[in-house]
Amino acid sequence: MTALSASVSLTWPGGPLRGTAQVPASKSESNRALIIQALAEGGQLANLSDANDTQLMQRLLQEKDAATFDAEDAGTVMRFLTAYLAMTGRQTELRGTARMHERPIAVLVDALRQLGARIEYLGEEGYPPMRLLGRTPQPATEEADFTELTVRGDISSQYISALLMVGPMLPHGLRIWLTGKVGSRPYIRMTLALMRHFGAHCRDLGEVLEVRPEPYQPTNYTVEGDWSAASYWYAMVALAPAGSHLTLPTLRRHSWQGDQAIVGIMEKLGVQTEFLADETVRLTQIAPAASLAQDFTDCPDLAQTVAVLAAALGVPTEMTGLESLRIKETDRIAALQNELAKFGGALTDAGEGVFRVAAENFRVAGQTVATYHDHRMAMAFAPLALRGPLTIQAPQVVRKSYPQFWRELEKTGFTTDPAPAPVF
């Protein structure tokens, strides 16, 4: 498979799935660490993700005098760079793909304007692209306590993380009041943990987040493997023939990643996790539960994996906390509904934020899966090849988070046609 292949066909030759699969380093940790390292002006980062989003972030942070920054389709790059460039006083333009220009950013821009950033929209109000015109510094007065912001908690946690990471450079630090239901809180905790690792003084007080005006310190950090990527291998073990087991290196028992929730979810969908001493997990197939109810508020990136797997296993599943899926790389709920229907599965909106997964005569028999410019659609459906042949369109989308995905499939026994080549 070349980087420009229109599709890849997958088949499984039979027999148990066994061996070791390499997962990429965490994109979420990598992109946060890169921003914090830039603000700390030093420190070495090891095991950075090879995902396109991380390589893009690294490259853009090195462009000191660019007149335009292109965040492409990377949400973390767009949100984190908006805060970083604005609060370091850069005068430049920030844009992305057509889909990125449909993803709202007004909540973050409004907050940055309160912190002195001068930002104007170049297209539709509240959406990229934007022109950054520098920053009006806040006066450092002894009487002031924290600079305070009130931010909705039910928006993307990337907005909140972007604000937190620039907090130490503000003369009074930052106090963020979160209102309403807070989604993806583990990502906020991850941000705060990485900030502390680089010397920041910050606290999570529930509805209030505080960052003191004390600068970062140059520090070294090694990025953990990505639990979101691991979820696809969990699905493969669950769908594989009896006797299957798999080893995944670089995953920590005490992880900052919210998507480690996959461990508990998969206990109910047929996979047991054993943590080994060397930051490695061993996955073993077990019997699935009769049904599953799961809130994805804190782990929305697992939703596609779980929906596809539950349908394939015939495990009735109730899913909540899917609100953010509508504004990802695609409308992930609509995409799931379209593609599951090809196999006899269904994702039904039951109202009041509840979605139900069901399947009637779920069958894998050569169907073609559309990926909607979304890496997680490709990887969530790929494990179905263990139940029959299928074709994945636009396989190069995996470059966004897991460039070696197809190669790792082949290493563990899958047949891919055309054969995989590196996706850059």
For residue 332, say whether it is annotated as part of any ligand binding site: yes
Residue 414: helix, strand or coil by DSSP? Answer: coil
Residues 20 and 36 in one domain: no
Final residue in a domain of this structure, among 191, 222, 253: 222
For residue 27, say whether it is annotated as part of any ligand binding site: yes
pLDDT number for residue 336: 97
Integer angstrom CA distances of residue 383 from 159, 231, 292: 32, 10, 20
* Count of structural domains within the chain: 2
Burial profile 268-283: b = 16 or more Cβ within 10 angstroms, e = fewer: bbbbebeeeeeebbeb
For residue 26, say whether it is annotated as part of any ligand binding site: no
215 band by pLDDT with thresholds 50, 70 and 90: very high
Final residue in a domain of this structure, among 222, 255, 283: 222
Residues 324 and 354 in one domain: yes
154 band by pLDDT with thresholds 50, 70 and 90: confident
| CATH number of the structural domain spanning residue 106 | 3.65.10.10
- In terms of phi and psi (left: phi > 0; alpha: psi -120 to 50; beta: otherwise), the region of 122 is alpha
Four-CA torsion 80, 294, 397, 36, nearest 10 degrees: 20
Task: Supply angle C-alpha 316, 156, 163, rounded to 5.
Answer: 150
Q: What is the pLDDT of residues 70-83, one digit of tens each?
A: 999 999 999 999 99
For residue 255, say whether it is annotated as part of any ligand binding site: no
Residues 146 and 229 in one domain: no
Residues 241 and 383 in one domain: yes
Residues 283 and 141 in one domain: no
Does 206 reside within a domain?
A: yes
Rg of the Cα trace of the chain?
Answer: 22
User: In the annotation, is 278 catalytic?
Assistant: no
- Provide mean pLDDT across the span 197-217: 96
Which residue has better confidence, 2 or 303? 303
- In terms of phi and psi (left: phi > 0; alpha: psi -120 to 50; beta: otherwise), the region of 404 is alpha
Residues 42 and 97 in one domain: yes
Residues 78 and 91 in one domain: yes
Q: Which of 301, 331, 349, 417 is catalytic?
A: 301
Residues 170 and 51 in one domain: yes
Final residue in a domain of this structure, among 222, 242, 274: 222
Residues 311 and 234 in one domain: yes
Q: What is the pLDDT of residues 86-131, one digit of tens each?
A: 999 999 999 999 989 999 999 999 999 999 999 999 999 999 999 9
Does 422 reside within a domain?
A: no
The domain containing residue 128 runs over which residues? 27-222
Residues 109 and 20 in one domain: no
The tokens describing 98, both together, are 């057509």
Does 423 reside within a domain?
A: no
Residues 261 and 361 in one domain: yes
